[in-house]
């Protein structure tokens, strides 16, 4: 059995009208330092987003969320940020900002399988409840 390792994660939020501070959770970024794991998974509920702001540009939101996934994967087509070491990418992506895409504060946990932890957090925090 693998020893549990520490991971950090943040919830990716879409804030269609920043001045109202309303958001929906759209994904998770998870980084595990010991194993070198960095991955983001997204599940945008477009109907909920449009209910919050019927004027939101869904295509732009999709592009921004896809860019986060690509930066986590180290896709060099995403520019110099994608070439940073994985922990620097995590911290860059989770930095506080006032924009349509924001992240929660960073939280810490322990797991034996980072990919499974990512899916668990997606199920609990992002995907619709059963």
Q: Report yes or no on 130 lying in a domain.
A: no
Q: Report yes or no on 103 lying in a domain.
A: yes
Q: In this predicted structure, what is the pLDDT of residue 67?
A: 97
Q: Report yes or no on 91 lying in a domain.
A: yes
Cite the beta strand spans of the chain per DSSP E: 5-14, 24-32, 37-42, 101-103, 107-111
Q: Report yes or no on 76 lying in a domain.
A: yes
Q: In this predicted structure, what is the pLDDT of residue 51?
A: 96
Using the structure block, give the residue that is written with the tokens 């930095």. 95
Domain that holds residue 25: 5-125
Q: In this predicted structure, what is the pLDDT of residue 1?
A: 54
- CA torsion sign for 46, 96, 72, 36 is negative
Q: Report yes or no on 40 lying in a domain.
A: yes
Domain count, the chain: 1
Q: In this predicted structure, what is the pLDDT of residue 130?
A: 81
Calpha distance 95→47 (Å, rounded): 27
At 81 the three-state DSSP class reads: helix
At 74 the three-state DSSP class reads: coil
Q: Which regions in the chain score pLDDT beneath 70? A: 1
Strand partners, 107: 9
């Amino acid at each position: 059995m693998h020893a549990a390792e520490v991971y950090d994660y943040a919830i990716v939020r879409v804030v269609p009208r920043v001045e109202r501070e309303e958001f929906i959770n759209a994904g998770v970024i998870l980084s595990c330092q010991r194993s070198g794991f960095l991955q983001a998974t997204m599940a945008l509920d477009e109907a909920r987003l449009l209910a919050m702001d019927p004027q939101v540009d869904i295509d732009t939101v999709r592009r921004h969320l896809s860019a986060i996934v690509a930066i986590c994967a180290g896709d060099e087509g995403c520019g110099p940020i994608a070439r940073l070491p994985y922990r620097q990418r995590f911290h860059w992506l989770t930095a506080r900002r006032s924009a349509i895409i924001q992240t929660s504060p960073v939280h810490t946990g322990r797991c034996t399988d980072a990919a499974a932890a990512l899916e668990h957090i997606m199920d609990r925090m992002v995907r619709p409840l059963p």
